[in-house]
């Protein structure tokens, strides 16, 4: 068994990205990323701070636009539209979740698809399923980089995804399909889940239930990717996969922390860079 070191890969990719960014800045384009944070959700604050730190390290023009929890939907859409028109910003991200009075769908539809670095706009989702992606959601994009780095050949493999969210499960399926895997998406209504996951050469788990996947869900020699981020009773970060026992069965596995997480933020920056690059190369 080998462990996929997401932290090391993220550091390597960020170093490469810094070099590319320096070159782009010399050509007069500084990648610009604005993160819009509505309200005071504590988990969101941490995510946004991390994004800001990495963007700054890379030399991006990084702005966090904080708005009151009580902002009206119309005012939020107006702010997004301002950034859509502002050529200094190549990436716009609205941190989710949003307060209940704001319609998430409307917000995502308002972001210019060319600047939608999260890849959640329906146009970007559609392009991804067409096999012609523009912006790809960062978490599955990071997982694809891991497969590349660790020479995981996906062609003809049985890939099983547990979880069907728009941000992880569904785009993951599209990307695996594009690389010629045979893809199955499972969810909370799937019957005999274990029988399905046992068929997986590649198992991607994104459910948000700590240590749900135990060794008896996993085929010998499978590649196991754990997207989950959960807090256990002691407040420790744990994955959806019970690492200690699944690592005995898997051929390759991601840890939590230090697996998928660091790659997600790196891919967000990569997409911002790509969006900036396209402004002079497309």
Strand residue runs (E) in 197-271:
202-205, 223-226, 230-231, 237-238, 252-253
Closest alpha carbon to 163 in 154, 172, 152: 172
Element (H, E) at 184: strand 182-186
Element (H, E) at 34: strand 32-38
Verify whether residue 189 is a known catalytic residue. no
Among 42, 105, 132, 189, binds ligand NDP (CB under 6 A): 189
Contact 228, 210 (CB under 8 A): yes
Site membership for ligand NDP, residue 144 (CB under 6 A) = no
Verify whether residue 51 is a known catalytic residue. yes
DSSP, res 116: B
Taking the least distance from each CB to ligand NDP, the nearer of 71 and 238 is 238
3-state class of 192 per DSSP? coil
Among 111, 168, 172, 203, binds ligand NDP (CB under 6 A): 168
Window contacting ligand NDP (CB under 6 A); options: 15-23, 103-111, 225-233, 244-252:
225-233
DSSP assignments along 3-21, one per residue: E--HHHHHHHHHHHHHHHH
Q: Which residue of the chain is nearest ligand NDP when measured via CB?
A: 165
Among 260, 267, 268, 276, binds ligand NDP (CB under 6 A): 260
Verify whether residue 199 is a known catalytic residue. no
Residue tagged active-site, from 5, 14, 51, 116:
51
Annotated binding-site residue? 165 = yes
Site membership for ligand NDP, residue 135 (CB under 6 A) = no
CB of 157 to ligand NDP, least distance (A): 21
Taking the least distance from each CB to ligand NDP, the nearer of 129 and 212 is 212
b/e map 129-160, b = 16+ CB within 10 Å: eeeebbbbbbbbbbbbbbbebbebebeebbbb
Which residues are CB-neighbours of 142 under 8 A, at least 6 positions away? Answer: 6, 10, 260, 263, 264, 266, 267
**Which residues from 31-70 bind ligand NDP, rule CB under 6 A?**
none
Residue with tokens 């990719």: 13
Residue tagged active-site, from 118, 201, 226, 240:
118
CB of 86 to ligand NDP, least distance (A): 27
Q: Which residues are annotated as a binding site?
A: 163-165
Residues that bind ligand NDP in the complex, under the rule CB under 6 A: 139, 162-165, 167-169, 186-190, 193, 206-209, 212, 227-230, 260-261, 264
């Amino acid at each position: 068994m080998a462990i996929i070191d997401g932290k090391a890969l993220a550091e390597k990719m960020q170093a490469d990205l810094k070099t590319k960014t320096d070159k782009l800045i010399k050509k007069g384009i500084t990648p610009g990323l604005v993160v819009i944070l509505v309200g005071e959700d504590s988990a969101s604050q941490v995510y946004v701070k991390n994004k800001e730190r990495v963007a700054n390290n890379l030399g991006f023009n990084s702005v966090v636009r904080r708005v009151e929890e009580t902002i009206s939907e119309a005012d939020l859409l107006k702010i997004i539209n301002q950034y859509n028109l502002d050529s200094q910003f190549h990436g716009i991200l609205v941190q989710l979740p949003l307060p209940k009075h704001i319609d998430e769908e409307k917000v995502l539809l308002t972001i210019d698809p060319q600047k939608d670095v999260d890849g959640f706009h329906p146009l970007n989702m559609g392009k991804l399923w067409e096999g012609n992606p523009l912006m790809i959601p960062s978490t599955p994009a990071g997982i694809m980089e891991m497969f590349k780095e660790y020479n995981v050949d996906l062609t003809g493999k049985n890939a099983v995804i547990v979880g069907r969210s728009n941000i992880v499960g569904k785009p993951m399926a599209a990307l695996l399909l594009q690389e010629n895997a045979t893809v199955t998406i499972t969810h909370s209504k799937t019957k005999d889940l274990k029988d399905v996951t046992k068929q997986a050469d590649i198992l991607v788990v994104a459910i948000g239930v700590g240590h749900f996947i135990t060794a008896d869900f996993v085929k010998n020699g499978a590649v196991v990717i754990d997207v989950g981020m959960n807090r256990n009773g002691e407040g420790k970060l744990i994955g959806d996969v019970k690492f200690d026992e699944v690592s005995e069965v898997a051929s390759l596995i991601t840890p939590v922390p230090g697996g998928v997480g660091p790659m997600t933020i790196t891919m967000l920056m990569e997409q911002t860079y790509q969006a900036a690059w396209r402004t002079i190369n497309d």
